[in-house]
Amino acid sequence: MFIIENYSLAILFCFITMLCWGSWGNTQKLAGKTWRYELFYWDYTIGILVFAVIMAFTLGSIGSSGRGFLADIQQVEGKHVLSAFIGGVIFNASNILLSASVSIAGMAVAFPLGVGLALVLGVFINYFSTPKGDPVLLFVGVALIVIAIICNGIASGKNSKGKSNPNAKKGILLAAAAGILMSFFYRFVASAMDLNNFEYPTDGVATPYTAFFIFAVGIFISNFLFNTLVMRRPFVGEKVNYNQYFSGKFSTHLVGVFGGCVWALGTLFSYIAAGKAGAPISYALGQGAPMIAAFWGLFIWKEFIKGDKSVNRLLAIMFLLFIAGLSLIVLSGGN
């Protein structure tokens, strides 16, 4: 299987993770012009599963390093299968809430609050489970990103001042709930892998490709429960049904599948990078995604086009703190 041999390449993979995690929401916004997020989400989970299968039989099966996917999945112990599967279930529950928040409050609110909370809590969870890197640099870097997220939230609040959105509070609560849940999923998947040696992994544990495949299966299967519930009892609007899903345009379905593939690429790269960078650093860099989402919202979707000078100043500070925080996180693992 393909594995990363050096720290620099691991950091590059982490930045790709950040770009993917911060960008998949664009596909929901594109589909949302004619498509409810509950329907989009089915295609999104299908995209994740399809991508996981393709990667398992390509990158997860080539080369002489580690164990190939088929050999690996046959020897994984049940407790590790369950751990990766539970990670998928937890992620799916959190991401459905995040998608609901995006549809109600927009990317500029949902991502900074939801994924920001996941970053703060998740770094603590992952670091104290598998400590790796300089804790001072790591947590100072995280603190700077937290301040950047706060600046983004204040800017979003100023930008939306005077606008009428009766469901804004619900969108904020959904994002907060999503963030708390999302902080736990990575640890379950990481514990199913031997993060200390991908080349010669311990018997009974999974390689990143196998863990990601099991994780994707957990997402897809749990979606029959979670998404069916929100389709029948939506947070906002009328309920939707499967007839509406199957009557959707092929191009609309492809948008959702592509969104799932984008997120899946970032997640798999995060798991692959964790072997060299460590789970806390890999997770923290990936969860810089709110700033990427803010970039899309600012420059592509023009969500802050009517903002005053104070909003623009907050956004500038946000990006500077974000870059500084990411730099410290990178340095924390290079010692």
Provide DSSP, 71-107. HHHHH--HHHHHHHHHHHHHHHHHHHHHHHHHHHH-H
Token digits for 180? 């708390």
Range of the domain at 110: 7-332
pLDDT at res. 256 = 97
- Reduced to 3 states (helix: H, G, I; strand: E, B; else coil), residue 193 is strand
Provide the residue type at 236 as one letter: V
Provide the residue type at 171 as one letter: G
Do the domain assignments include residue 271?
yes
pLDDT at res. 332 = 86
Per-residue model confidence as pLDDT tens digits over 228-263: 999 999 998 899 999 999 999 999 999 999 999 999
Q: Look at residues 263, 206, 228, 237 and name the one whose alpha carbon lies nearest to residue 83.
A: 206
Token digits for 235? 């947070």
pLDDT at res. 146 = 83
pLDDT at res. 307 = 66
Do the domain assignments include residue 2?
no
Do the domain assignments include residue 219?
yes
pLDDT at res. 45 = 98
CA contacts within 13 A on the Cβ side of 283:
33
Kindly state the helix (H) or strand (E) to which residue 131 belongs, with its residue range.
none
DSSP state of 195: T
Helices marked H in 160-207: 168-190
Per-residue model confidence as pLDDT tens digits over 83-113: 999 999 999 999 999 999 888 877 777 887 7
Residue 193: beta bridge partners?
A: 206
Do the domain assignments include residue 153?
yes
Do the domain assignments include residue 147?
yes
Do the domain assignments include residue 1?
no
Do the domain assignments include residue 176?
yes
* Relative orientation angle of helices 7-23 and 279-286, to the nearest 10 degrees: 40
Do the domain assignments include residue 264?
yes
Token digits for 149? 């997220």
Distance CA 258, CA 254 (A): 6
- Reduced to 3 states (helix: H, G, I; strand: E, B; else coil), residue 126 is helix
pLDDT at res. 303 = 67
Distance CA 73, CA 214 (A): 9
Question: Rounded to two decimals, what is the model's pTM?
Answer: 0.88
CA 210 to chain centre: 18
Domain count, the chain: 1
Low-confidence ranges of the chain (pLDDT < 70): 159-166, 303-307, 334-335
